[in-house]
Amino acid sequence: MSVLDDIVAGVREDLAERESRTPLPRLRELASLRPEPRDPMPAFRAPGLSVIAEVKRSSPSKGHLAEIADPAALATSYAQGGAAAISVLTEQRRFNGSLADLRAVRAAVDTPLLRKDFVVTEYQLVEAREAGADLVLLIVAALPGDELDRLHAIAVELGLTTLVEVHDEAETERAVALGAELVGVNARNLKTLQVDPDTFGRLAPGLPEQVVKVAESGITGTADAARHAAEGADVVLVGEALVKGGDPATAVKEMRSA
C-alpha cells in the first residue's frame, strides 16, 4: 500500500464517522444556508505571482511543523501579507488539521479559502461548502476512473472552485481532458513523499495557456518562487516555509515580489 492509499483509507474511516452524525441530505441543507463562495480566479489571473498561504501543522513527510494554537490569527497575517487565497489542512491523522480550523479561519478573513484534504466523496465537497470553503482540492492520483469527472461536476454545482492536482504526465492529460481551469503541479510524489523540484518545469508546458498554473511543494523561499514564476507559474502554494518563519505577513509579501 502506498502512502497515498494509506492516507485515503484513514480519510474514509473518519468520514464514515462524521457522516453517521450528519447525513448528506441534512448537510446539504446546512450548506445551502451559507453565503455564495468567493471566486479566487480574478486574483490568480492578475499580473504578478499570487500566493496561496497554508495553515499547516504537520505533514506525513516532515511530521510536526509548527504549533498553531490560533489558525485564525495566522490566516489574518497571511491576508495582511496579500495572500490571494488561504489553504487550510483539514485531514486529521497525518496533518493534524480539522474542519474546525477551516471554520475559525472563515470567521476571521474574507480571503478565498481552500479546503486542503484528500477528497474522495461528494460528502466532503458539501462539508467544504458548509464550513465556508471557496475552493476544494481534487487530487487526480486519488480519483480513478470517472470519479474525478463526477466530483468535479458536483463541486461546480456547489459553486466551488476546483484546484486539480497532478504529479506526472498522465495525470496532467486527465486534468486537461477534464477542462480544469486551475491546475496544481505537486512536486511531491504522494506515493513515496519524495520531492522532485523539476516537476513543475516539466509538466507546465503540457497545460493550455489559459489554465492558471499553481506550483506546489518544495518552495522554501523567494528563490524557489521566482524559479517557478519563470517557468510559468501564476500561483505558488506555500505551507512549511510560512508556518516555520517568524513573520508570515512579510514572508507572503516577499513571495509575491518574486
Which sequence positions are flagged as catalytic? 54, 56, 116, 165, 186, 216-217
Cα 98–Cα 99–Cα 105 angle in degrees, nearest 5: 100
Crossing angle of helices 222-230 and 248-257, in 10° steps, is 30
Kindly compute the dihedral angle of the four CA atoms of residues 103, 108, 111, 112, in this order, to the nearest 10 degrees: 10
Q: Which amino acid is at 89?
A: L
| Sequence-distant (≥ 6) Cβ neighbours of residue 95 within 8 angstroms | 56, 57, 58, 59, 60, 89
